[in-house]
A and B are shown apart, each in its own frame.
Chain A
Amino acid sequence: MAADHAIERQSLPPDPQKATLEGRNKYLGFWFFLGGETVLFGTLFGTFLGLRSSTEGGPTAQDLFHLDLVFIMTMILLTSSLTSVFAVINMKRGNHKKLILWMAGTVILGAAFLGFEIYEFVVYYNYGLGFTVSAFASSFYTLVGTHGAHVAFGVGWITTLLIRYRKGGITLSNAPKFYTAVLYWHFIDVVWVFIFTVVYLLGVGG
């Protein structure tokens, strides 16, 4: 690492994502945006908590959830957050190649998570939990599905970044873009931790 560090070091400031006014604006604006997103998911969590016992004779959480699958999904997503942390570390060191590599890892893990989530939904649907079956079903699919949509958007976003900046090194204009994408990814991860707790653990445990 240290050797790469010395070789790859470009003339970048230590915090390239905040070196320009544009970068600072993006950084701050994105934090504000995540504040709004928090309210969005908070509202969905509130709705789910209010309706989670209204299964109306349809499948219940205890019938459906298997913690082993959910644990695998959680681990995948947590790992994808870790890879994006490595990406940012390398971005601050000015190591463009490793930044792209770690971000690609994040995208792949995110896509794998998304595949698991789709698989999970199909299993539940076949078990008899259609979207319209009960208020529990509607609120479950809406909450977890909104999170899934965020994951899908994040995958698309980071993929676009990777295509756009596969060459040419780290600049003061693309560093904030990577940084905000990583912030978004961490946010998705935090939301999933809450979903894991509120939806799955509480669902299985009562």
Chain B
Amino acid sequence: MSNSTASSKKSVLWDWLTTVDHKKIGIMYFFGGLFFFTIAGIEAMLMRIQLMFPEMGFLGEQTYNELLTMHGTTMLFLAAMPLFFGFMNFVMPLQIGARDVAFPFINSLGLWLFIFGGIILNISMLAGGAPDAGWTAYAPLSTTSPGNGVDFYVMGLQVAGAGTLMSAINFLVTIVNMRAPGMSMMRMPLFTWTTFVTSMLILFAFPALTIGLLLLMMDRVFGGAFFDTAMGGNVVIYQHIFWIFGHPEVYILILPAFGIFSEIISTFAKKRLFGYSAMVFATMIIGFLGFMVWAHHMFTVGMGPVANAIFAVATMAIAVPTGIKIFNWLLTLWGGRISFTVANLFALAFIPSFVLGGVTGVQLAMSAADYQFHDTYFVVAHFHYVIIGGSVFGIFAGTFYWWPKMFGYRLSESLGKWFFWLFLIGFHLTFFIQHFLGLIGMPRRVASYLDGQGFNEMNFISSMGAFLMAVAFILLVINVLISRKNTDNVQDPWDGRTLEWATTSPVQEYNFAQTPLIRDLDALWYEKMSGNGKMKAAEPLDEIHMPNGSILPIFIALGLSIAAFGVIYSAWFVIGAGLLLTFAMMFIRSIKEDHGYHIPVSEIKKDKGEG
């Protein structure tokens, strides 16, 4: 690999496949996530059509179970997390003034593992049956599920999860080691902070999932006895392992959104974030408590009153740091000059919507009451309120906020407002009513319901809301397609406060010609107020060292995917071949020196328009 600079005449496709640039990887994460978001949304729509009327014959029970499982799994692992990872990858290094992430190669590997994991999961629908044991895949339902569906679930998540774990370590090291001069931890933007805490959660939660999936695989493919009670197995162990991962996972889904809202509310209120250090501290506390409450998913499993009480109290404690954050956002808005852009509208709508979800969460935390709520639509309403009202609103807000930075054009605000209102109304229409549906006893995860039980009207209203959300999402896609001409004012459209707005749009490959010097929290805003509006440089203009691209990550991920298919179909030869490919590629990566290349000063000057 000689000096392959960015201006070399490689094809565009090859460039994107081999890239180790965190911005391109972020964009690919984003579009991968958007693609799976669409698929999972279609799955949700099919389910809502099936539930529109009692005893509908639109889907069979088996199909419904598969759709339900795929909707949950896809939305969590292949849509929400990658969308956040896209923002993290793109924005976080810019916010701390870094040229790149700590491990560009591993970043690329994480992306391709996610893509291949998603493909494995979704190919199950074409290979004779998707997983049908719910996104939690409780044993023994999952271990006794016929066909290969659950095997696809296990291997797809295993591959995607490995990629997620790598990216998390990458973000952690980037934030600790790669900050620009003057960027102390307590000067980092909140989104970077939430990226940090989220990555910590991933680091300590995902290995538990890895083992949970490994045990499922052992039971299903190799005849193990972990969850086979006839052989002395214990199915509750699976539930514990799953939720030791799964509860931190739901905080992994919400914390990045908290970070995005903190950025947006502060920017559009034209005020520094109220209680910055309290916000940081609350984020850490939420992250810590996320590991302390897993058993609240298992109140009705028979752990006994003492364990239930302990976990109930721990769960209610999470309301405290979350409340701190909510009030800090409100006080940031207080007295600010608020501009109602689409991004800010989503942030403002998030606060009441998320509080509603949080309140039902505290209700569910009461373990005695949970015997009534458990496995009803009340739970469905609760977690859709927090995941849509929190994570998805966060993703949409971040999309409108960072789109100019990522793609060099602004999304239409007027069409965006249509999208916002339709989505907001559709969302509340769909899920608010489900609280009552659950309270009068409609169970979750059932493919239909009988006439005359009082479920008809509410289910119909709920489905109408789902249609409204689907229409809104189509408006967003149209918005992305027709707004391409808005290429003016993309450098700093929102009068931003943080470092990512100090760069060009789209961002140069090396992010900053000279590493900026950070003099305060909200570094760019400080320069706008008391400097000349530009970041001061912390180093003289010099040539920049960049890592080379590599095709190896794709082949490493491909090898693991081949091995995963070998496991699914119990073909030893295929497992061996896949692992061999992976290790061969790792070996090549290990023994081939790759020192990257340098961007000369002349080129940097040309980019700056001084050439």
Mark A residues whose CB is within 8 Å of B: 21, 24-25, 28-29, 32-33, 35-37, 39-40, 43-44, 46-47, 50-51, 54-56, 131-139, 142, 156, 160-161, 163-164
Additional A-B contact list (11), CB under 8 Å, known A25-B173, A135-B232: A35-B203, A39-B205, A39-B208, A51-B234, A54-B231, A132-B222, A132-B225, A133-B231, A134-B225, A135-B231, A138-B233
Residue of B nearest to A25 (CB): B102
Q: Looking at chain B, what size class is its interface with the partner chain?
A: 35 or more
Q: B573 within 8 Å of A by Cβ?
A: no
Query: Given the interface contacts A29-B103, A36-B206, does A135 sit within 8 Å of B241 by beta carbon?
Result: no
Query: Given the interface contacts A32-B169, A36-B203, A138-B218, does A132 sit within 8 Å of B223 by beta carbon?
Result: yes
Residues of A within 8 Å of B169, CB to CB, are 29, 32-33, 36
Query: By the criterion CB–CB under 8 Å, are B207 and A29 in contact?
Result: no
Residue of B nearest to A35 (CB): B203
Residue of B nearest to A130 (CB): B223
Query: By the criterion CB–CB under 8 Å, are B233 and A29 in contact?
Result: no
Interface bits B312-335 vs A (CB < 8 Å: 1, else 0): 000000000000000000000000
Those 8 A-B pairs whose CB atoms lie nearest each other, nearest first: A54-B232, A40-B207, A135-B232, A138-B224, A43-B211, A39-B207, A132-B223, A25-B102
Residue of A nearest to B214 (CB): A142
Q: B453 within 8 Å of A by Cβ?
A: no
Q: B226 within 8 Å of A by Cβ?
A: yes
Q: Which of the residues A54, A137, A160 comes within 8 Å of B590, measured between beta carbons?
A: A160
Q: Which of the residues B177, B178, B222, B234 comes within 8 Å of A135, measured between beta carbons?
A: B234
Query: By the criterion CB–CB under 8 Å, are A51 and B591 in contact?
Result: no
**Secondary structure dominating the interface of A:** helix
A34 CB to closest chain B CB (Å) equals 10
Interface bits B74-107 vs A (CB < 8 Å: 1, else 0): 0000000000000000000000000000110000
Residue of A nearest to B205 (CB): A39
Q: Which of the residues A33, A43, A135 comes within 8 Å of B228, measured between beta carbons?
A: A135
Provide the bound-state CA to CA distance between A133 and B232, in Å: 10
Query: Given the interface contacts A51-B237, A142-B214, does A134 sit within 8 Å of B232 by beta carbon?
Result: yes
Q: Which of the residues A40, A50, A163 comes within 8 Å of B591, measured between beta carbons?
A: A163
Query: Given the interface contacts A25-B102, A39-B207, A51-B237, does A32 sit within 8 Å of B172 by beta carbon?
Result: yes
Residues of B within 8 Å of A139, CB to CB, are 226
Query: By the criterion CB–CB under 8 Å, are B225 and A24 in contact?
Result: no
Residues of A within 8 Å of B224, CB to CB, are 131-132, 138, 142
Residue of A nearest to B212 (CB): A43
Residue of A nearest to B229 (CB): A135
Residues of A within 8 Å of B102, CB to CB, are 25, 29
Residues of A within 8 Å of B240, CB to CB, are 46
Provide the bound-state CA to CA distance between A168 and B137, in Å: 52
Query: By the criterion CB–CB under 8 Å, are A29 and B241 in contact?
Result: no
Residues of A within 8 Å of B214, CB to CB, are 142
Provide the bound-state CA to CA distance between A36 and B102, in Å: 18
B375 CB to closest chain A CB (Å) equals 25
Residues of B within 8 Å of A21, CB to CB, are 177-178
Query: By the criterion CB–CB under 8 Å, are B222 and A24 in contact?
Result: no
Residues of B within 8 Å of A142, CB to CB, are 214-215, 218, 224, 226
Most buried by B among A43, A55, A139: A43
Provide the bound-state CA to CA distance between A156 and B587, in Å: 10
Query: By the criterion CB–CB under 8 Å, are B172 and A29 in contact?
Result: yes
Q: What are some 6 contacts across the A-B interface (CB < 8 A)? A: A21-B177, A36-B207, A54-B231, A131-B223, A135-B233, A163-B591
